[in-house]
Amino acid sequence: MERLQMMILSGLFVSATLMLQQSESIGAFVLHGEQQAISASAARSTVHEPPAMSSMNEEERKQLHDELLQQIQAEAVSRKVEPIDARVDQVWKAIPGYNGQEVDIEQSLALNEQTLFRNKLKLVMKEVEPAIKLDQLGSYPVYKGNPMKPMVALMINVAWGNEFLPKILEVLEEEQVHATFFFDGSWLKGNIPTALLIKEKGHELSNHAYSHKDMSKLSRAQAYAEISKTEKLLKEELGVDNKLFAPPSGDFNQATVDIAGEMNLTTILWTLDTVDWRKPEPASIVNKVATRVEPGTLILMHPTYSSSEALERMIHAIKNKKLVLGTVSQLISTNRVPEVESANQ
Protein backbone atom coordinates (compact mmCIF):
# COMPACT_ATOMS: atom_id res chain seq x y z
CA MET A 1 0.00 0.00 0.00
CA GLU A 2 2.76 2.40 0.94
CA ARG A 3 4.59 1.52 -2.26
CA LEU A 4 1.51 2.32 -4.31
CA GLN A 5 1.16 5.72 -2.61
CA MET A 6 4.78 6.50 -3.36
CA MET A 7 4.32 5.64 -7.03
CA ILE A 8 1.27 7.94 -7.28
CA LEU A 9 3.10 10.82 -5.60
CA SER A 10 6.11 10.35 -7.90
CA GLY A 11 3.84 10.45 -10.95
CA LEU A 12 2.17 13.65 -9.78
CA PHE A 13 5.56 15.25 -9.17
CA VAL A 14 6.77 14.40 -12.68
CA SER A 15 3.55 15.74 -14.24
CA ALA A 16 3.78 19.00 -12.30
CA THR A 17 7.40 19.43 -13.34
CA LEU A 18 6.58 18.92 -17.03
CA MET A 19 3.67 21.38 -16.82
CA LEU A 20 5.87 23.99 -15.19
CA GLN A 21 8.53 23.60 -17.88
CA GLN A 22 5.89 23.88 -20.59
CA SER A 23 4.41 26.99 -18.98
CA GLU A 24 7.83 28.63 -18.87
CA SER A 25 8.38 27.76 -22.52
CA ILE A 26 5.04 29.30 -23.49
CA GLY A 27 5.80 32.44 -21.49
CA ALA A 28 9.18 32.73 -23.12
CA PHE A 29 7.58 32.22 -26.52
CA VAL A 30 4.98 34.95 -25.87
CA LEU A 31 7.64 37.34 -24.57
CA HIS A 32 9.76 36.65 -27.63
CA GLY A 33 6.77 37.37 -29.90
CA GLU A 34 6.09 40.67 -28.16
CA GLN A 35 9.71 41.72 -28.52
CA GLN A 36 9.64 40.81 -32.21
CA ALA A 37 6.46 42.88 -32.72
CA ILE A 38 8.01 45.90 -31.00
CA SER A 39 11.15 45.55 -33.11
CA ALA A 40 9.11 45.26 -36.31
CA SER A 41 7.04 48.32 -35.40
CA ALA A 42 10.18 50.31 -34.70
CA ALA A 43 11.63 49.16 -38.00
CA ARG A 44 8.51 50.25 -39.87
CA SER A 45 8.61 53.64 -38.17
CA THR A 46 12.23 54.01 -39.11
CA VAL A 47 11.46 53.23 -42.72
CA HIS A 48 8.34 55.41 -43.20
CA GLU A 49 8.80 58.33 -40.83
CA PRO A 50 10.94 61.01 -42.43
CA PRO A 51 13.17 63.08 -40.19
CA ALA A 52 11.92 66.43 -38.92
CA MET A 53 13.14 69.53 -40.74
CA SER A 54 15.08 70.55 -37.63
CA SER A 55 17.17 67.36 -37.78
CA MET A 56 18.11 67.82 -41.45
CA ASN A 57 21.15 69.57 -42.77
CA GLU A 58 20.76 72.55 -45.08
CA GLU A 59 21.01 70.54 -48.28
CA GLU A 60 18.39 68.01 -47.11
CA ARG A 61 16.03 70.78 -46.07
CA LYS A 62 16.36 72.48 -49.44
CA GLN A 63 15.75 69.22 -51.27
CA LEU A 64 12.60 68.51 -49.25
CA HIS A 65 11.41 72.09 -49.68
CA ASP A 66 11.82 71.91 -53.47
CA GLU A 67 10.12 68.51 -53.72
CA LEU A 68 7.10 69.64 -51.66
CA LEU A 69 6.83 72.91 -53.57
CA GLN A 70 6.82 71.07 -56.89
CA GLN A 71 4.09 68.65 -55.69
CA ILE A 72 1.92 71.47 -54.29
CA GLN A 73 2.24 73.57 -57.44
CA ALA A 74 1.21 70.59 -59.56
CA GLU A 75 -1.87 70.01 -57.37
CA ALA A 76 -2.70 73.73 -57.43
CA VAL A 77 -3.26 73.64 -61.19
CA SER A 78 -6.00 71.00 -61.00
CA ARG A 79 -7.61 72.37 -57.82
CA LYS A 80 -8.12 75.95 -59.01
CA VAL A 81 -11.73 77.13 -59.45
CA GLU A 82 -12.26 80.51 -61.08
CA PRO A 83 -14.57 83.03 -59.32
CA ILE A 84 -17.88 83.94 -60.97
CA ASP A 85 -18.73 87.62 -61.43
CA ALA A 86 -22.09 89.07 -60.42
CA ARG A 87 -24.21 89.90 -63.44
CA VAL A 88 -27.55 91.27 -64.58
CA ASP A 89 -29.92 88.72 -66.11
CA GLN A 90 -32.81 89.78 -68.35
CA VAL A 91 -35.27 87.66 -66.36
CA TRP A 92 -33.76 87.25 -62.89
CA LYS A 93 -32.17 90.72 -62.70
CA ALA A 94 -29.19 90.87 -60.28
CA ILE A 95 -27.41 87.53 -59.91
CA PRO A 96 -24.81 87.50 -57.10
CA GLY A 97 -21.23 86.43 -57.78
CA TYR A 98 -19.53 83.40 -56.25
CA ASN A 99 -16.02 83.08 -54.90
CA GLY A 100 -13.53 80.81 -56.62
CA GLN A 101 -10.86 78.90 -54.74
CA GLU A 102 -7.21 78.05 -55.13
CA VAL A 103 -4.40 76.39 -53.20
CA ASP A 104 -2.60 78.68 -50.76
CA ILE A 105 0.87 77.57 -51.79
CA GLU A 106 2.79 79.25 -48.97
CA GLN A 107 0.55 77.92 -46.18
CA SER A 108 0.38 74.47 -47.76
CA LEU A 109 4.18 74.35 -48.00
CA ALA A 110 4.61 75.41 -44.37
CA LEU A 111 2.03 72.84 -43.21
CA ASN A 112 3.69 69.96 -45.06
CA GLU A 113 7.20 70.90 -43.90
CA GLN A 114 5.98 70.68 -40.30
CA THR A 115 4.33 67.30 -40.80
CA LEU A 116 6.35 64.20 -39.94
CA PHE A 117 4.12 61.69 -41.74
CA ARG A 118 4.02 62.78 -45.37
CA ASN A 119 2.31 59.86 -47.05
CA LYS A 120 -0.50 62.25 -48.04
CA LEU A 121 -0.05 65.84 -49.22
CA LYS A 122 -2.04 68.36 -47.18
CA LEU A 123 -3.44 71.40 -49.00
CA VAL A 124 -4.75 74.66 -47.57
CA MET A 125 -7.36 76.28 -49.82
CA LYS A 126 -8.29 79.97 -49.98
CA GLU A 127 -11.23 81.75 -51.56
CA VAL A 128 -10.80 84.16 -54.47
CA GLU A 129 -13.34 86.96 -54.77
CA PRO A 130 -14.91 87.84 -58.14
CA ALA A 131 -13.95 91.08 -59.88
CA ILE A 132 -17.60 92.20 -60.07
CA LYS A 133 -19.82 91.99 -56.97
CA LEU A 134 -23.53 92.50 -56.37
CA ASP A 135 -23.21 96.06 -55.10
CA GLN A 136 -21.42 97.06 -58.30
CA LEU A 137 -24.31 96.15 -60.60
CA GLY A 138 -26.48 99.15 -59.86
CA SER A 139 -30.10 99.36 -58.73
CA TYR A 140 -31.63 95.93 -59.36
CA PRO A 141 -33.68 93.51 -57.25
CA VAL A 142 -32.47 89.99 -56.43
CA TYR A 143 -34.69 86.99 -57.17
CA LYS A 144 -32.17 84.19 -56.63
CA GLY A 145 -28.64 83.36 -55.55
CA ASN A 146 -25.80 82.26 -57.79
CA PRO A 147 -26.82 79.00 -59.55
CA MET A 148 -23.40 77.49 -58.82
CA LYS A 149 -23.82 77.94 -55.06
CA PRO A 150 -25.40 74.80 -53.53
CA MET A 151 -27.49 76.74 -51.03
CA VAL A 152 -31.19 77.56 -50.57
CA ALA A 153 -32.80 80.19 -48.30
CA LEU A 154 -36.22 80.34 -46.65
CA MET A 155 -37.70 83.85 -46.57
CA ILE A 156 -40.64 84.10 -44.18
CA ASN A 157 -42.75 87.27 -44.54
CA VAL A 158 -44.57 88.06 -41.28
CA ALA A 159 -47.56 90.40 -41.10
CA TRP A 160 -49.97 87.96 -39.38
CA GLY A 161 -50.12 84.29 -38.40
CA ASN A 162 -48.77 84.38 -34.83
CA GLU A 163 -50.47 81.10 -33.99
CA PHE A 164 -48.29 79.21 -36.48
CA LEU A 165 -44.94 80.78 -35.55
CA PRO A 166 -44.22 78.41 -32.60
CA LYS A 167 -44.51 75.33 -34.85
CA ILE A 168 -42.30 76.93 -37.52
CA LEU A 169 -39.64 77.90 -34.97
CA GLU A 170 -39.75 74.43 -33.43
CA VAL A 171 -39.17 72.71 -36.78
CA LEU A 172 -36.36 75.10 -37.75
CA GLU A 173 -34.63 74.46 -34.44
CA GLU A 174 -34.99 70.68 -34.69
CA GLU A 175 -33.61 70.72 -38.24
CA GLN A 176 -30.83 73.21 -37.29
CA VAL A 177 -31.90 75.63 -40.02
CA HIS A 178 -31.77 79.44 -39.87
CA ALA A 179 -34.25 81.40 -41.98
CA THR A 180 -34.76 85.09 -42.79
CA PHE A 181 -37.88 86.69 -41.30
CA PHE A 182 -39.11 89.84 -43.04
CA PHE A 183 -41.25 91.79 -40.56
CA ASP A 184 -44.14 94.08 -41.44
CA GLY A 185 -43.52 97.15 -39.26
CA SER A 186 -47.06 97.44 -37.88
CA TRP A 187 -46.90 93.76 -36.84
CA LEU A 188 -43.43 94.23 -35.38
CA LYS A 189 -44.49 97.20 -33.27
CA GLY A 190 -47.04 95.04 -31.42
CA ASN A 191 -44.92 91.87 -31.26
CA ILE A 192 -41.47 92.91 -30.07
CA PRO A 193 -41.13 89.96 -27.59
CA THR A 194 -41.92 87.45 -30.35
CA ALA A 195 -39.43 89.11 -32.69
CA LEU A 196 -36.77 89.03 -29.96
CA LEU A 197 -37.42 85.31 -29.48
CA ILE A 198 -36.93 84.74 -33.20
CA LYS A 199 -33.68 86.70 -33.02
CA GLU A 200 -32.49 84.69 -29.99
CA LYS A 201 -32.93 81.50 -32.00
CA GLY A 202 -30.36 82.78 -34.50
CA HIS A 203 -32.60 83.77 -37.39
CA GLU A 204 -32.05 86.78 -39.63
CA LEU A 205 -34.49 89.69 -39.19
CA SER A 206 -35.27 92.08 -42.04
CA ASN A 207 -37.62 94.74 -43.45
CA HIS A 208 -41.04 94.11 -45.05
CA ALA A 209 -42.19 97.78 -45.08
CA TYR A 210 -44.59 99.10 -42.44
CA SER A 211 -48.23 98.63 -43.44
CA HIS A 212 -48.24 96.11 -46.29
CA LYS A 213 -49.10 98.58 -49.05
CA ASP A 214 -48.33 98.19 -52.73
CA MET A 215 -45.05 100.06 -52.99
CA SER A 216 -45.46 100.90 -56.69
CA LYS A 217 -48.58 102.97 -55.92
CA LEU A 218 -46.91 105.18 -53.33
CA SER A 219 -45.23 108.53 -53.74
CA ARG A 220 -41.51 108.70 -53.12
CA ALA A 221 -42.08 110.21 -49.67
CA GLN A 222 -44.64 107.52 -48.76
CA ALA A 223 -42.39 104.71 -49.96
CA TYR A 224 -39.48 106.13 -47.98
CA ALA A 225 -41.64 106.32 -44.84
CA GLU A 226 -42.84 102.70 -45.25
CA ILE A 227 -39.29 101.39 -45.32
CA SER A 228 -37.70 103.79 -42.83
CA LYS A 229 -40.31 103.30 -40.08
CA THR A 230 -39.71 99.55 -40.03
CA GLU A 231 -35.97 100.09 -40.30
CA LYS A 232 -36.11 102.24 -37.17
CA LEU A 233 -37.95 99.51 -35.24
CA LEU A 234 -35.46 96.87 -36.31
CA LYS A 235 -32.54 99.00 -35.14
CA GLU A 236 -33.94 100.53 -31.95
CA GLU A 237 -36.10 97.69 -30.63
CA LEU A 238 -34.17 94.65 -31.86
CA GLY A 239 -30.63 95.97 -32.31
CA VAL A 240 -30.54 94.74 -35.90
CA ASP A 241 -28.22 96.25 -38.51
CA ASN A 242 -30.39 95.28 -41.48
CA LYS A 243 -29.30 95.07 -45.14
CA LEU A 244 -32.40 93.62 -46.87
CA PHE A 245 -35.86 94.76 -47.95
CA ALA A 246 -38.72 92.56 -49.24
CA PRO A 247 -41.60 94.59 -50.77
CA PRO A 248 -45.11 93.52 -49.63
CA SER A 249 -46.86 91.21 -52.11
CA GLY A 250 -43.77 91.49 -54.31
CA ASP A 251 -45.10 94.79 -55.64
CA PHE A 252 -42.45 97.38 -56.51
CA ASN A 253 -41.19 99.72 -59.19
CA GLN A 254 -37.77 101.12 -59.97
CA ALA A 255 -38.28 103.95 -57.48
CA THR A 256 -38.82 101.33 -54.74
CA VAL A 257 -35.51 99.66 -55.52
CA ASP A 258 -33.74 103.02 -55.72
CA ILE A 259 -35.11 104.21 -52.37
CA ALA A 260 -34.15 100.96 -50.67
CA GLY A 261 -30.70 101.25 -52.22
CA GLU A 262 -30.30 104.77 -50.80
CA MET A 263 -30.83 103.19 -47.37
CA ASN A 264 -28.15 100.57 -48.17
CA LEU A 265 -30.82 97.86 -48.51
CA THR A 266 -30.91 95.20 -51.22
CA THR A 267 -34.41 94.53 -52.58
CA ILE A 268 -35.23 90.81 -52.29
CA LEU A 269 -37.92 88.94 -54.21
CA TRP A 270 -38.26 85.17 -54.55
CA THR A 271 -37.50 82.29 -56.89
CA LEU A 272 -40.18 79.88 -55.68
CA ASP A 273 -43.48 80.87 -54.04
CA THR A 274 -45.31 78.39 -51.77
CA VAL A 275 -48.51 80.47 -52.24
CA ASP A 276 -49.37 79.24 -48.75
CA TRP A 277 -51.85 82.10 -48.17
CA ARG A 278 -54.25 80.24 -50.46
CA LYS A 279 -54.29 77.39 -47.90
CA PRO A 280 -53.03 74.59 -50.16
CA GLU A 281 -52.55 71.07 -48.84
CA PRO A 282 -49.14 70.80 -47.13
CA ALA A 283 -48.26 67.87 -49.39
CA SER A 284 -48.65 70.06 -52.48
CA ILE A 285 -46.13 72.56 -51.08
CA VAL A 286 -43.68 69.77 -50.34
CA ASN A 287 -44.09 68.41 -53.87
CA LYS A 288 -43.55 71.85 -55.41
CA VAL A 289 -40.35 72.40 -53.44
CA ALA A 290 -39.02 68.89 -54.07
CA THR A 291 -39.67 69.26 -57.80
CA ARG A 292 -38.44 72.79 -58.40
CA VAL A 293 -35.78 73.63 -55.82
CA GLU A 294 -32.24 74.10 -57.15
CA PRO A 295 -29.01 75.85 -56.13
CA GLY A 296 -29.65 79.52 -55.37
CA THR A 297 -33.41 79.22 -54.79
CA LEU A 298 -35.15 81.76 -52.55
CA ILE A 299 -38.32 80.16 -51.15
CA LEU A 300 -41.15 82.49 -50.09
CA MET A 301 -43.46 81.43 -47.27
CA HIS A 302 -45.59 82.91 -44.47
CA PRO A 303 -46.62 81.72 -40.99
CA THR A 304 -49.62 79.71 -42.20
CA TYR A 305 -51.03 76.31 -41.33
CA SER A 306 -50.02 74.93 -44.73
CA SER A 307 -46.37 75.98 -44.48
CA SER A 308 -46.03 75.11 -40.80
CA GLU A 309 -47.20 71.55 -41.55
CA ALA A 310 -45.11 71.25 -44.73
CA LEU A 311 -41.89 72.78 -43.38
CA GLU A 312 -40.20 69.67 -41.99
CA ARG A 313 -40.74 67.72 -45.21
CA MET A 314 -39.70 70.75 -47.28
CA ILE A 315 -36.39 70.88 -45.43
CA HIS A 316 -35.82 67.15 -45.89
CA ALA A 317 -36.53 67.45 -49.63
CA ILE A 318 -33.98 70.25 -49.90
CA LYS A 319 -31.35 68.36 -47.93
CA ASN A 320 -31.95 65.23 -50.00
CA LYS A 321 -30.81 67.24 -53.03
CA LYS A 322 -27.49 67.90 -51.24
CA LEU A 323 -28.34 71.58 -50.83
CA VAL A 324 -27.47 73.60 -47.73
CA LEU A 325 -30.06 75.85 -46.07
CA GLY A 326 -28.89 79.32 -45.07
CA THR A 327 -30.20 82.83 -44.53
CA VAL A 328 -30.86 85.20 -47.42
CA SER A 329 -27.70 87.17 -46.61
CA GLN A 330 -25.65 83.98 -46.65
CA LEU A 331 -27.18 82.92 -49.95
CA ILE A 332 -26.50 86.18 -51.80
CA SER A 333 -22.97 86.55 -50.40
CA THR A 334 -20.02 85.42 -52.52
CA ASN A 335 -18.77 83.04 -49.80
CA ARG A 336 -18.38 79.40 -50.79
CA VAL A 337 -20.44 76.78 -48.98
CA PRO A 338 -18.22 75.19 -46.28
CA GLU A 339 -20.40 72.06 -45.93
CA VAL A 340 -19.53 71.19 -49.53
CA GLU A 341 -15.94 72.36 -49.74
CA SER A 342 -13.45 72.18 -46.89
CA ALA A 343 -10.63 74.67 -46.50
CA ASN A 344 -8.18 71.90 -45.65
CA GLN A 345 -8.01 69.11 -48.20
- Read off the pLDDT of each residue in 112-131 and give the average, rounded to a whole number: 86
Give the mean model confidence (pLDDT) for residues 320-327.
Answer: 98
Return mean pLDDT, the chain: 87
Q: Which pLDDT belongs to residue 50? A: 52
Sign of CA dihedral 168, 171, 174, 179: negative
pLDDT at 120: 83
Q: Is the pLDDT of residue 4 over 50?
A: no
| pLDDT tens digits along 220-278 | 999 999 999 999 999 999 999 999 999 999 999 999 999 999 999 999 999 999 999 99
What pLDDT does residue 279 have? 97
pLDDT tens sequence across 32-90 = 444 444 444 444 433 344 555 566 678 878 888 898 999 999 999 999 999 999 999 99
Residue 55: what pLDDT? 64
When pLDDT is cut at 50, 70 and 90, the band that residue 28 belongs to is very low
How far apart, in whole angstroms, are the C-alpha atoms of residue 326 and residue 295?
12
Q: How many CB atoms lie within 10 A of CB 41?
A: 10
Per residue in 87-106, pLDDT (tens digit) is 999 999 999 999 999 999 99
| Spatial distance between the Cα atoms of 215 and 193, rounded to a whole number of angstroms | 28
Tell me the pairing of strands 151-158 and 298-301: parallel
Q: List % helix, strand, coil for the chain (3-state, nearest 5).
A: 55, 15, 35
- For residue 172, the model assigns a pLDDT of 98
More confident residue, 94 or 4: 94
Mean pLDDT of 138-147: 98
The Cα 151–Cα 284 span in angstroms is 22
With 50 as the cut, is the pLDDT of residue 200 above it?
Answer: yes
Q: Among 3.20.20.370, 1.10.287.3510, 3.40.50.80, 2.60.200.20, what is the CATH number of 136-332?
A: 3.20.20.370
pLDDT at residue 11 greater than cutoff 90: no
pLDDT of residue 49: 45
Sequence ranges of the domains in the chain? 53-79+98-131, 136-332
Q: Is the pLDDT of residue 26 over 90?
A: no
Query: Which pTM was predicted?
Result: 0.81
Q: Calculate what percentage of the chain has a pLDDT beyond 90.
A: 75
Q: 234 to each of 82, 153, 181, 303, how far by Cα in Å?
A: 38, 21, 12, 19
